[in-house]
Amino acid sequence: MGSCPSRFSQPARSLGRRDRGELAAVKDAAVKDAAVKDAAVKDAAVKDWVAWHREYDDPSSSLSARLDCVRLHLAAAIDQMPPGSLQVVSLCAGQGHDVIGVLSGHPRRDDVRALLVESDPRNARLAAQRAAAAGLGQVEVRQADAGYVANFADALPADLLLLCGIFGNVGEADIERTVRAAGSLCSPGGIVIWTRHRRAPDLTPRLRSWFADSGFDEVAFDALDTSKLTSVGVHRLRGEQDGRAVRPQRPASLPDGPLFTFGGA
Ligand SMILES: C[S@@+](CC[C@H](N)C(=O)[O-])C[C@H]1O[C@@H](n2cnc3c(N)ncnc32)[C@H](O)[C@@H]1O
């Protein structure tokens, strides 16, 4: 028989006044510990996502640098798309600073239909107001859970898919699932713009390899020198080569459940 750790191998004894005090303190600490853990989980899941956007008010912030980079790539991607109408889908779109900011001044603004999916009703309302103020009637803001493909399936396939501000807030399995599903969400030649920090453990090398073996070519990977070690990636879904469809190493797969759940990072 193995021996028990010493703290469990004390002979049983009745509790004295001091022991009761110690037990109460241990219980207290356990309750506090559980409360702190609960609060941390809740905090990640129900963070104030309106307040989160205030960092955009400071043009020198990490978040503003990320936004500038996303906007540059989005504008360039729209420039490069073949003539005709284009479908943009932005998941967890927040207040739409990227899509609305680019479309408002883009020469192809009238070619673009955009669906912004955002779960926070206040952010969704603010995004809709921004789109209306910019005269972008073809931008729809939908208050919904973007983890579920059914909530935006009517706008698929996307020519441009934005996954910005997601991969830093969900777990690694969710990131991989979303990347591996991306090929099913985009049209051939479609472009995904995504963000993720490079803090340890830096998942960006794995993320880029998941895109590569899901049929995407890397267009850009910008490792920004910001305090948050932000990066912005751009991947294009391979279309046809010499008139033949290019098959990804692993065909895209849509999960039965959600692509991701916020708060799992
Ligand atoms: C980190 S912010 C990014 C916002 C925007 N993409 C940007 O980069 O400015 C994440 C946003 O996702 C929203 N969100 C969280 N969970 C969501 C979900 N399941 N479906 C849709 N939006 C979600 C939050 O309300 C928040 O506005």
Reported as a single tens digit per residue, the pLDDT across 62-76 is 999 999 999 999 999
More confident residue, 47 or 154: 154
Contact 106, 112 (CB under 8 A): yes
The answer on pLDDT for 248 being more than 90 is no
8 A C-beta contact, residue 214 and residue 238: no
159 lines ligand 1 (CB under 6 A): no
Residue to substitute in 43, 48, 49 for testing ligand 1 pocket (most ligand atoms within 8 angstroms of CB): 49
Task: Name the residue with higher pLDDT: 30 or 52.
Answer: 52
93 Cβ closer than 6 Å to some ligand 1 atom = yes
What one-character-per-residue DSSP string does 64-77 give?
Answer: HHHHHHHHHHHHHH
Structure tokens at 173: 């399995």
Question: In the predicted model, what is the mean pLDDT of residues 199-216?
Answer: 96
* Residue 86 predicted with pLDDT over 70: yes
pLDDT at 251 over 80: no
Q: Is the CB of 92 under 6 A from ligand 1?
A: yes
Q: Does pTM surpass 0.85?
A: no
**Residue boundaries of the structural domains of the chain:** 15-45, 59-245
Strand 86-91 to strand 158-163: parallel, antiparallel, or no bridges (unpaired)? Answer: parallel
Separation of CA 93 and ligand 1 centre (Å): 5
Q: Is the CB of 259 under 6 A from ligand 1?
A: no
Q: Give me the torsion for CA of 96, 98, 102, 108, rounded to 10°.
A: -70
Give tens-digit pLDDT for 7-39: 222 333 333 344 444 434 434 444 444 443 344
Give the C-alpha separation, 78 to 190, whole Å: 11
> What integer best gives the mean pLDDT of the chain?
84
Which of 10-14, 21-25, 209-213, 259-263 is the least confident region? 10-14
Ligand 1 and 174: CB distance under 6 A: no
89 within ligand 1 shell (Cβ under 6 A): no
The pLDDT tens digits of the residues spanning 149-192 come to 999 999 999 999 999 999 999 999 999 999 999 999 999 999 99
Ligand 1 center to 264 CA (angstroms): 14
Domain 59-245: assigned CATH number: 3.40.50.150
Question: Whats the size of the chain, residue-wise?
Answer: 265
